[in-house]
Homo-oligomer: A and B are copies of this chain.
């Protein structure tokens, strides 16, 4: 953060918004009217509009002690874009609402916006509106993401079919271990402020927590491969909780193979260091922002060569419930918290 500190009051609410948004260049033809009026105007030219909104609250969703503001700006955008991709849609615009206490300087806010704009550039979305208000305590971030999808090409959670393959993108569990690590370092720091944390070994898991990416590439791959998943959602709360959403909403059961769950080697090493089970981290950790989706068995060939996609199980009849088959060959019930060793 820069040494300079400019009080927000010196700019005023309108001056502040103007200051932070003056360099916006709209990238999408669908962005008919951006920041600066009562509302933004979007024209998706015959496509359907996808819209989602998230609220992030300091102390609940993020800790400014170890979250750089630029990363936070980036992540606030990305987690919303992830919801748009999870509909098989392309994000086109975002609207940003911020609640700020007077603890924030203009410079701090500029840093946050740097991250917002970096995400906008990377994912090709336009910031088209916003609202900046006071908050008595804590930093509040509200992001609304808008996207487009060809009529009826959006993919719901509730439309998986029996026999479909259950797939996920990337790897899981890392963000949770990043959180465990940073929370531990925070505790150490608060007890002995002189000690500098050694982040070297945990770069990957920390990066996954602080600067997640949305799986734009997977949605583009579906398009290229002419593959339409039968159901899809993003993994924000942990694999097990999301599997239960898809199976419940689709009226089905699931079989999940523990050995098929993609976990990065660095995640495994971090888990062992903290004496945690890597599979449990993947199942209940959350914040990975990978995609969980189902495809028809006959589409299996289409994903074979994509190393970013793992088949982790399949959908069964509802009466079979939601089961995980462990590496040791045991079968347990999947619960929102991971698995239930007493349920099977």
- Check A87 for interface membership: any CB of B closer than 8 A: yes
Task: Tell me the nearest residue of chain B to A51, going by C-beta.
Answer: B40
- Pair B38/A44 contact, Cβ less than 8 Å: no
- Check A186 for interface membership: any CB of B closer than 8 A: no
A87/B41 contact (C-beta < 8 A), A59-B136, A136-B57 known? yes
Stretch at the interface among A95-103, A198-206, A263-271, A327-335: A95-103
A39/B97 contact (C-beta < 8 A), A60-B135, A144-B144 known? no
Question: How far apart sit A3 and B255, CA to CA, in the bound complex (Å)?
Answer: 45
- Pair B60/A50 contact, Cβ less than 8 Å: no
Task: Tell me the nearest residue of chain B to A40, going by C-beta.
Answer: B51
- Check A54 for interface membership: any CB of B closer than 8 A: yes
Residues of chain B with a CB closer than 8 A to A55's CB = 97-99, 131, 133, 140, 142
- Pair B36/A249 contact, Cβ less than 8 Å: yes
Copies, count: 2
> Smallest CB–CB gap between A73 and chain B, Å?
16
- Check A288 for interface membership: any CB of B closer than 8 A: no
Residues of chain B with a CB closer than 8 A to A49's CB = 41-44, 49, 146
- Pair A53/B97 contact, Cβ less than 8 Å: yes
Question: How far apart sit A144 and B233, CA to CA, in the bound complex (Å)?
Answer: 22
Question: How far apart sit A305 and B129, CA to CA, in the bound complex (Å)?
Answer: 36
- Check A68 for interface membership: any CB of B closer than 8 A: no
Residues of chain B with a CB closer than 8 A to A131's CB = 53-55
Question: How far apart sit A129 and B147, CA to CA, in the bound complex (Å)?
Answer: 15
- Check A137 for interface membership: any CB of B closer than 8 A: yes
Extra contacts, 19 of them, besides A36-B158, A38-B52 (Cβ < 8 A), are A33-B154, A33-B156, A37-B87, A39-B87, A41-B48, A41-B49, A41-B87, A41-B154, A42-B49, A43-B151, A44-B44, A51-B51, A51-B128, A51-B146, A52-B129, A53-B142, A55-B99, A59-B136, A61-B133
Q: Can you list 16 A-B pairs with a CB-CB distance of less than 8 A?
A: A36-B157, A37-B157, A38-B86, A39-B52, A40-B50, A41-B51, A44-B44, A51-B95, A53-B95, A53-B142, A54-B131, A57-B99, A57-B134, A57-B135, A57-B136, A136-B138
